[in-house]
Structure 1
Amino acid sequence: MAYKRGRYSGYIRPAFYVVDLAIILAMAQLFLPLNGHFLAFAILIPATWIVSTIKTKFYEVYRYTQLTRIFSLIFIQLVLFVLTVFAFFGYYAFAKANPQTIFAYIGYVFLCITIVKLAVYFLLKKYRTVLGGNYRRVVIFGDNPKTRQLEAFFLKNKDYGYKLAQIFDTTHPDVSIESAFAYIVNENIDEIYCSIAEFDNDELREITDFADNNLKILKFIPDNKEIFSKKLNYNYLGITPILSLREIPIDTPLNQFIKRSFDIIMSILILVGLLSWLTPLLALLISIESKGPVFFKQKRNGLDYKEFYCYKFRSMRPNPTADIHQVRRGDSRITRVGKFIRKTSIDELPQFINVLKGEMSVVGPRPHMVSHTHMYAERIDKFMVRHFIKPGITGLAQTSGYRGQVESDHDIINRVKFDIFYVENWSLLLDIKIVIQTVVKALSGDEKAY
């Protein structure tokens, strides 16, 4: 049996614990008037920190972890740390400290912890890319489009620290599983990526046993069956393993509260800070150019397929086909003012009224006209999954290049793929990222905004 080599980052996580706890205690000495209760603070706060970080998986950051995930972990741990520190001073009431001092302490602690965490994260990426260190040697079992896609990822993303040593096509007469095993042992391979589609149950069991007996990390690439490409939720009923087709993060009460709070705050800021003075100005310009209402409302399908009226600033001359035909490039129905407000996405701002009413969210799948929704629901697979959550003013599909006119089934199919990814992977930081990308695109000019 081969022994696992010790070149991994096994010491990084304990080092993070030591550094972060040192920051917590050092800042306490500098900022907090503990009045002889430093020992109690030095025992209780680090203990709760360790327990909370284990529960939140604060230190479970890997080479493939996204930056948004890191910020999400920092935010969750910040909330818990605030509660812990204030609970300490609530219990030790005679340790006099005003809230401003406590918040200053917490702010400096998390500023330092965040800087350290991000610095190590980016330094390791540079270390892998420039110096070729902190890497893992990997092999792939199977030769098909999915394994080639994984090969391309390894070759393109050097900062992840994976070095692809070999691809084994076991369907080739000169390649066997046994020869692949010998290569893995002789070349000190660290991880095995195995395509399920290429092997039967006995072969998969043989590969699993080899990986276990030789301390190799084994990961499986789903086969071409659609269900195994989903993000499945794994649970137990008793001792029976159960796979759920889809887990929707927004369904949890806490996440619903977070998302709704974000929606309300954003709506109030836009409605009061922007639309309060912009609406009269646009109303004047729209009315001067063409007769008709300032606002345009149209039925859309929202959460659970329920219909609602979606509001916009009117950008077209009143016409009988507005609820039937999508806007096309160079559409003669669009006014001069309408062309500007559509290009800058200003026409969408009244939808913050829909957000405040709870019919829409700031970020989510974009709602379509009712007639188009019915059409796509019949033609496009998985289209209805978008209606598991509220529709949004902007969305991941829109910031990924799939906004505006649906020119072919390719456009709507990819839009649905991004929307389903958003439904299954929602986070507050993802919402913030999409909002920022939307603003940047609006200011720089999106070629699909017409």
Structure 2
Amino acid sequence: MRDVGVIKSHGEEHILAYRVVDALIIALMIFAVSALYVGHVNIHYILATTIAIVCFSVMAELLGVYNSPSLYSIRYVIGPIVLSWVFTIALLLIVAFGLKITQNFSRIAITSWFVATPILLGLYRYSITKYKSIVKADSYEQKSIIIGATSAGIALAKEIESSRQHGIKLIGIFDDRSPERLPDDLSFPLCGSINDALEMAKERNFRHVYVALPMKASRRIKDVINYFSDSTARVYIVPDFFTYDLIQSRWRNVGSIPTLSIHDTPFYGMSTFIKRLEDIVVSSLILLMISPVLLAVAIGVKASSPGPIIFKQNRYGIDGKQIRVWKFRSMRAMDNGAVVKQATKGDPRVTRFGAFIRRTSLDELPQFINVLQGRMSIVGPRPHAVSHNEEYRKIVDKYMLRHKVKPGITGWAQINGYRGETDTLEKMEKRIEFDLIYIRKWSLWLDIKIIFLTIFKGFISKTAY
């Protein structure tokens, strides 16, 4: 078999450099303040430095500090940097108090370190960004062209023109087609034919060539790549993935064969661990705080109507596996079969107390126990009854993709107003749309944002009957 090579991730070296410099800043700062205020660096400061570097690196990775856009723009990274450092400080304080070693640190030195480190991390990022924008703004290294006035080519051109953070200076689009065959929404002027582009490449008028021809034109793409082999330009293929709905897409090399996932989960490796840790910590804290409320609601349910306090219903969990979801019983009926009727306004099955706890989301509080059990997550698409899943998967496009993650107590759809009764197909479609947006864009930062917004507008709903 011919050696096809392995596709590597672009920018790996830059990302590694950022990680190394961040670690050096954290270490040098604590050594500097300890030497200044204490006069020496003891084993406790070295231990604190090690924990800080590991914690910050993990949190920064999860919060997107080392994502490609963050490497070029300070505004994308300052918030995650500060939050990563806050988490690091919190962990250090927990360790110090837990081991009872706080007396081994200078308060002035540690406070100076806590305050100065994120400032230096931000200044470092700012200086790098400023340097790149000044030195490389008009350089040969940044000049690029696009081959093909296709949907992918136009989208790439708009992305390049919308922000300078990518570090690309677009010369224009080249295409062999006649004007009447070009897209009507083409807002970028054509600079010539592909042959014109090749001649310009030979004269070193640009450095990068982005081939954005349709994927079906594989023979034509190969010819274009061969044309530019007669130049020193760097050639990139822009696959027309706009024909697919990518959800957490990833490159994966199976041996030497590159593959691309189209529909995938955001949870691999460390992100799985962090998501689970988030669920355990948050749900444990909430259960401790609401234990009196749980007791009061349980008494109210028992006193308002005969039947069990907890209603357990089958739902779909991650990967479509059935799970048992707990709720405080709010109805006289407990549907859990092939047909489950959604509650509607004035539904006679709902008790008076049940209407109150449904409207205020108190009926869902037992699901924090489901989170501890590992069946659910704090944040994720809301779980639907099995019968509703089987109904809507037939009529709502990409409905089952919401099960790429664990169902949640709150979610992106809920804080955007799609909570409660879905009495129209349009409402369900919008809920699924927001669920899939959450899966595509998942980050710890997004989870924190959703939890925060839920406190203010996610619990009370006029459509929760």
- The verdict on how the C-alpha distance between 1:64 and 1:368 changes in structure 2, with shifts beyond 3 A counting, is same
Tell me by how many angstroms 1:352 deviates. Answer: 0.6
Counterpart amino acid of residue 456 in structure 2: V
Deviations 1:272-328 (A, max 9, x none): 212x2223444566678777665544321223434333223455x535779623345
Tell me by how many angstroms 1:429 deviates. Answer: 3.6
Tell me by how many angstroms 1:165 deviates. Answer: 5.0
Tell me by how many angstroms 1:348 deviates. Answer: 2.4
Corresponding position of 2:267: 250
Corresponding position of 1:6: none
Partner Cα distance (2:280, 2:21) in 1: 41
Task: Indicate yes or no: 2:392 matched with 1:376.
Answer: yes
Corresponding position of 1:277: 292
Task: Indicate yes or no: 2:114 matched with 1:114.
Answer: no
Contact kept in structure 2, 1:312 and 1:348, CA below 8 Å: yes
Corresponding position of 1:220: 238
Pick one of 157, 170, 177 that aligns with 2:194.
Answer: 177
Contact kept in structure 2, 1:311 and 1:348, CA below 8 Å: yes
* Deviates further, 260-269 or 362-371: 260-269
Counterpart amino acid of residue 433 in structure 1: K
Counterpart mapping for 1:151-190 below 5 A: 151-154=157-160, 166-172=172-178, 175-181=192-198
Corresponding position of 2:7: none
SS at match of 1:278: helix
Corresponding position of 2:10: none
SS at match of 1:393: strand
- The verdict on how the C-alpha distance between 1:413 and 1:165 changes in structure 2, with shifts beyond 3 A counting, is farther
Corresponding position of 1:305: 320
Partner Cα distance (2:440, 2:363) in 1: 29
- The verdict on how the C-alpha distance between 1:304 and 1:23 changes in structure 2, with shifts beyond 3 A counting, is same
- The verdict on how the C-alpha distance between 1:285 and 1:211 changes in structure 2, with shifts beyond 3 A counting, is farther
Counterpart amino acid of residue 305 in structure 1: G
SS at match of 1:368: coil
Tell me by how many angstroms 1:354 deviates. Answer: 1.4
Tell me by how many angstroms 1:369 deviates. Answer: 0.8
Counterpart mapping for 1:43-54 below 5 A: none
Over the matched positions of the two proteins, sequence identity in percent amounts to 30
Corresponding position of 1:349: 365
Tell me by how many angstroms 1:64 deviates. Answer: 5.1
Partner Cα distance (1:180, 1:152) in 2: 20
Contact kept in structure 2, 1:246 and 1:424, CA below 8 Å: no
- The verdict on how the C-alpha distance between 1:348 and 1:336 changes in structure 2, with shifts beyond 3 A counting, is same
Corresponding position of 1:203: 221
Tell me by how many angstroms 1:231 deviates. Answer: 0.7
Contact kept in structure 2, 1:53 and 1:77, CA below 8 Å: no
Unaligned runs of 5+ in 2: 1-13, 180-189
Corresponding position of 2:8: none
- The verdict on how the C-alpha distance between 1:145 and 1:67 changes in structure 2, with shifts beyond 3 A counting, is same
Tell me by how many angstroms 1:362 deviates. Answer: 1.2
| TM-score (norm. length: structure 1) | 0.66
Deviations 1:221-279 (A, max 9, x none): 43455388861332242x44455556545353x544433332222222222212x2223
Task: Indicate yes or no: 2:318 matched with 1:318.
Answer: no
Counterpart amino acid of residue 355 in structure 1: V
Tell me by how many angstroms 1:356 deviates. Answer: 2.1
Contact kept in structure 2, 1:263 and 1:362, CA below 8 Å: yes
Pick one of 282, 285, 288 that aligns with 1:266.
Answer: 282
Deviations 1:401-447 (A, max 9, x none): 5444445555555655654565566544443233223223337x667
Partner Cα distance (2:158, 2:346) in 1: 41
Corresponding position of 1:29: 35
Unaligned runs of 5+ in 1: 1-8, 87-96
Partner Cα distance (1:36, 1:294) in 2: 57
- The verdict on how the C-alpha distance between 1:260 and 1:153 changes in structure 2, with shifts beyond 3 A counting, is same
Partner Cα distance (1:206, 1:258) in 2: 45
- The verdict on how the C-alpha distance between 1:64 and 1:53 changes in structure 2, with shifts beyond 3 A counting, is closer
SS at match of 1:359: coil
Corresponding position of 1:3: none
How many residue pairs match? The answer is: 414
Counterpart amino acid of residue 365 in structure 2: L
Partner Cα distance (2:39, 2:106) in 1: 13
Corresponding position of 1:431: 447
Counterpart amino acid of residue 116 in structure 1: L
Counterpart amino acid of residue 30 in structure 1: L
SS at match of 2:313: strand
